[in-house]
Amino acid sequence: MISLQRIQILVEKLKSLKVLVVGDVILDTYLKGRVERISPEAPVPILEVEEEEFRLGGAGNVAKNLSFLGVKTFICGVIGKDEAGERVKQLLKESRIKAFLVEDKRPTTKKTRIVSRNQQLLRIDWEDKRKISGKTLKNILDIIRELEVDAIIVSDYAKGVITKEVIAEIKKSGVFFSIDPRPQNRELYKKGNLMTPNEKELIEMSNGKGENVETLGKILKDELKLDALIVTRGPKGMTLFLDKEIKHFPAKARKVYDVTGAGDTVIASITAFKLAGASWEECCEIGNLCAGIVVGEFGTASVTPEKLMQEIKSYEQTKN
């Protein structure tokens, strides 16, 4: 287990980093209330709404995780000229994230979750998944070209922002870039510094080749010519693939309450700490700890250095 002293050194270095998140910005809306009766109109529950909550999702949640860790954070994405887009701008501002958002004719991607007593009953999505083009694409490419940062995180939710042109521009910048992938865009990710698929995405991107995670991961890493591949595996932790070694890291969650946004936390924390000077092994330990913290909370959540250090203290006390 990584020591508290080591984390403190790395956390201090996070403050000097500048990271850009490029990808699909999503507004997460939660309608929370009580269900105590069934509708007389149809056999469906009636939710008596008590609270409406708005959070950053998708690339916005990746950026929020970076910002909460102390990294100077920028985000580049697409929103619509609508109320949801205005809400996204406000949430980014509140999270101290410098936003470069291009307004498009499409609606802002929005996911509304209907929740009763912390149990999700239904999700409603508003989205347009067509690839961006024309002036919208040009504006995104200009932003990537002009910003000077230490790294770029590609947060791909397959809502149209991540295209071959966008990836080409990111590669041209020459900075470290990591990818939270979607299987349908597999070929775009070649020669990335880091990719963090979950186990299901790994299987889909491998087209059924091989029989286990180790075989599939090695094949995928080699085919895409990645520097590092980290497969997130839920309760089984993470598996790290480097050029000549494969290592497993057990999960650190004490309780699993909600896995929403855990992948966002993993890509943000591992990228940030790698830039701060952590080894790949240390990054996996930290990523597991951060994921363990957020799955213990409801909805998309973020890790602060204080929460991370408290988690390590708890593990050290358990050992002693």
The number of beta carbons lying within 10 Å of the beta carbon of residue 204 is: 16
The number of beta carbons lying within 10 Å of the beta carbon of residue 274 is: 22
User: Tens of pLDDT along 123-169?
Assistant: 999 999 999 999 999 999 999 999 999 999 999 999 999 999 999 99
- Give pLDDT, residue 180: 97
Q: How far apart are CA 313 and CA 213, in angstroms?
A: 32
**Residue at 119: amino acid letter:** Q
Which is catalytic among the residues 24, 104, 180, 264?
A: 264
Q: Which residues lie below 8 Å from residue 118, measured CB to CB, with a gap of 6+?
A: 257, 298
**pLDDT surpassing 90 at residue 207:** no
> Tokens 């909370």 appear where?
297
- Alpha carbon 277 to its chain's center: 21
pTM: 0.93
**pLDDT surpassing 70 at residue 210:** no
Bridge partners (DSSP) of residue 54 are 29
**pLDDT surpassing 80 at residue 259:** no
Name the helix (H) or strand (E) containing 70. Answer: none
- Give pLDDT, residue 163: 97
Q: How far apart are CA 270 and CA 65, in angstroms?
A: 11
Asked about 264 being catalytic, the answer comes back as yes
Domains contained in the chain, CATH given: 4-319 (3.40.1190.20)
**Residue at 84: amino acid letter:** A
Strands 238-241 and 246-249: antiparallel
Q: Whole-number mean pLDDT of the chain?
A: 92
- Read off the pLDDT band of 299 (50, 70, 90): low
Any alpha helices (H) in the chain, and if so which ranges?
4-14, 59-69, 83-94, 134-146, 164-173, 199-205, 213-224, 262-275, 280-294, 305-319
- Read off the pLDDT band of 68 (50, 70, 90): very high
Q: Which residues lie below 8 Å from residue 316, measured CB to CB, with a gap of 6+?
A: 1, 3, 4
